[in-house]
Amino acid sequence: MRPAFFNEVCLASNGITQEKFAQKLSELTQGKIKIATMSIQVREVILGKRSMCARFALLISELIGTEAKMWLSLQSNLDLWKARRKLGF
């Protein structure tokens, strides 16, 4: 996931900090995923150290009113782009 896109769509457009976003995502899981854990996951996605997974896509979609498929498609397109570059295609 491109960090700038994630920041713009999830954080900036909602006027929310990474910590508050992580807190809200944690709340959606009814505490099954702790705020500290969710905070790490949000930070890693923003920094490009973690890919978007189905669970994270579902949570984000629920929170900001998007489709989970959109997030997974964006991640898949980025993965394909990286693979093409690496293979020289």
For residue range 21-79, list pLDDT tens digits in order: 999 999 999 999 999 999 999 999 888 889 999 999 999 999 999 999 999 998 999 89
| Both tokens assigned to 42 | 């949000």
Contact 18, 46 (CB under 8 A): yes
- What residues contact residue 68 under an 8 Å CB cut-off, 6+ apart? 54, 57, 58, 60, 61
2-21: buried (b, 16+ CB within 10 Å) or exposed (e) per residue?
A: eeeebeebbbeeeebebeeb
d(CA 68, CA 47): 20
Structural domains in the chain, sorted by start = 3-87 (1.10.260)
**pTM of the entire structure?**
0.84
Reported confidence tier of residue 2, pLDDT bands at 50, 70, 90: low
Task: Report d(CA 47, CA 30) in Å as an integer.
Answer: 26
Residue type, 83: A
